[in-house]
A and B are shown apart, each in its own frame.
Chain A
């Protein structure tokens, strides 16, 4: 584009057309057609004026999960509560994308307030998996992943609290990145679990996801939890990696009961490719990871019930009319969907008098052990290789009546959030077709120590070249 072979205007038109073609998959909640066209024209003017080299993402169309604020448009969080809301400001990640010349073409579907693993909890209806529209795309960042998987945009932003970028990336055959806690500013990301939340990138390729992360990462005065560590270039020269001597951890705890045999085989094939290229495979133990979901459902829901207390109909969003204040709260909050009510109830329960130590206190203590397991493992290895999900994409409706089964879908992803470490999911072929399900994408996961994103991208890029096509 900077070479003048195509224009930002063309790129945006193509992306908007594609967004219309894939309407049935319900990736987008809103499109920014006119604004995106105006911004594309501005980028083209800057390129013509010789300013293109300052724009690493010049004219690149980007899709953004609808819990990240983009000024002047909606940020619904997939909820009736925020349906009337218009964002008065840009999230820092969005401001940085704009400075780099990227153009947000639309806001994507998600489970209500990012709570879910399928997008079925969106108040506006589920998104669908492009590889089999009767199946979920995963969640909660399902819409962003579908927009990438269908070729509508090369990169998208999602958010993670327990696997919400990596799990849908695995289900739809894209790359999905959960950066280190604090790597990306959360200013303008609607809060869910504040000790866990992190904005992540979705990409067609490892390089795309890495480039987008390079742009949005870094400290920000608007977010006191953003990390001061320098970002560096996360995407240049990834092809030059030689896996010889890299130490890859293989944790037995992630390959037990409940793992689909095709996903196990994919992980073993990736491990063998690395070994053949000279990497050292090391057995490591993460004995507390199997408790990850139990810990998550104390810590994350407690934080969620606190964060969601602000939706009271006073300062923004929906208000149900009532002549009396307390009933106004009740009637306004009745607009939360079933999963939101469930998590608010659970969170309030675990924080309530008499239960705090048994649940939240215990959860926090086990969380520290999960982190300590990783610290011990990273003394011996550079990265850990695991499945991203225990199964491929499941049919829409299959787990809707069984919240615990839905939660267990995140069993391999949630520990990275609890430990605060970076992780990436990348596609590795497909499951064999069976009478009850077509061939579906498989995701494999790499986890690394704090701020080791660059190293994860290098290993992931090597594996991407070796992987069977998705």
Chain B
């Protein structure tokens, strides 16, 4: 490598094209990235250490803050880990409500992500529309849980309180609106837009071999032709009771990943409708005693669920005390945001770096947890 011909670029941590407080330092020659290195750590808040010093229940309002886009996902994995170690079976209605919340969360994350991807190529109208459409779902979350972004709703033993039938009807109305009005607009504005197609097709390609060796999951892996989805591989919540197909693509480029996200929105709508139609009656949480004195026997579990971008895992160790002994968070984009930058980014053109980062779903708070 002749470094005299290259220029070093500090892409982030303050750059509109970078998804969050995170930097990529790369050398480029002409228009092409030659070598790159991730620069994380700007957002480290010491969650894992903090969790060891708080009682089990007090971590529920904490974990949702690990990733802004996936608050419910974090609450769910944490609660699942607690229940797996304590061998607790939660009521059936609670599993249905959890699945409804998780699918709503997936839709809002996908819509926001599609908007973000449009922002990365300068299609700002679609970005604003994405934010707006997501807001309708946040309104629903506010009605169900009391919070817009962070919900603190899924907790060990079930969910915080029940969803009323009126709200379930509102969810169905919103889904109808999304399917019949919003998504066709997105289709016209984004997916039938020749300029957007040109920018996304054959850009930021991730092949199957690299994806598997890096441990990439979610839409990025499914865009390479596989149909792996944690909801099918290790079913959790109420996913065993619903009938759905996991969409997949072939080309592994940014365009395929975005189309998959769009398809998954329709799939999530389908799942929520099935769940709401079959939701059983009954209690929504277990009485585990004094919330500040929750205790589970010593043990460990690696639990994972499918977030909007792939596998989200927690490794939880309990020593039988009032607090977790150790919680390790495996964020979805950790392999891509760290090693992926070094191994996959070289060869990418400068103007495609934001597309690379956004379409692969890099979320810095996950590896700065």
A binds B: no
